[in-house]
Amino acid sequence: MFVELDALYAKLKTMRPLSPESIRRLSEDFMIDYTYNSNAIEGSTLTLDETALVLKEGVTISGKPLQHHLEAVGHKEAYFYIENLVKNKIGISEKTIKEIHSLVLMDKQSDRGRYRSVPVRVGSFYPPQPYEVPIQMERLLVEYNDKMQAMHIIEKVSLFHLMFESIHPFVDGNGRVGRLLINFDLMQNGYPPVNIKFSDRVKYYECFSHYHGNRNDTSKMVELIGGYVMDELQRYIEIAEHAGENVIQ
């Protein structure tokens, strides 16, 4: 998989930079679809069309909870925020993670950007106790900035995501923040962002079960994210070819 991914990545690099209009269109279209899917995984009842209306027109959807509207808006703001972080070459840190969380959780003022103070359970898995969260997050970021840097980008984002979700540092919003962090890292390394589909949620959850039940084996998540990245690389290449944007970087 990595050989093919690297070849597609190298091909896309020869087609950059894309035009500002192509970049704008890709970003806006992706953001809406991505917001719909990421929030749907967490239980939002907004459809894709309703999400588009909320984000582009500011429409309130009758019969849908206000919370789901705010989650859509918060996710949009968080996505544009990580785009700006990438543009300004600002890396992943506790500060940026908490800032992303503050945007995602715009509907819950008291919990925004704060590590949880209560124990939680995720299915049959018990994340660390609240007092362990700051220490484990610090260790995760040290490992991310040290050992993980030698990994292939797909291995790195997969392992970081699995470890982040296993710590489950916040009371709410961990999944959305974690998936934003996947894209933060991908985009920092010149890859297009990925959109884990609501329709793949069972496969996505199985990646965590496999990780916890098989001595922290990341292979299932690597396969899932790698497949999404490959699809996005091919899509970007097709768009660039169709537009005739074959400019050497």
Nearest to 99 by CA among 120, 119, 121, 84: 84
Looking up tokens 């209560």, which residue turns up? 118
Using only the alpha carbons of the chain, give its radius of gyration.
18
Q: Is 168 a catalytic residue?
A: yes
Could you write out the DSSP letters of every residue in 135-203?
Answer: HHHHHHHHHHHTGGGGS-HHHHHHHHHHHHHHH--SSS-HHHHHHHHHHHHHHHTTPPP----GGGHHH
Choice among 69, 101, 168, 210 that is catalytic = 168
Counting beta carbons within 10 angstroms of the beta carbon of residue 217, is it exposed (0 to 12), middle (13 to 18) or buried (19 or more)? Answer: middle
The residues annotated with a catalytic role in the active site are: 168
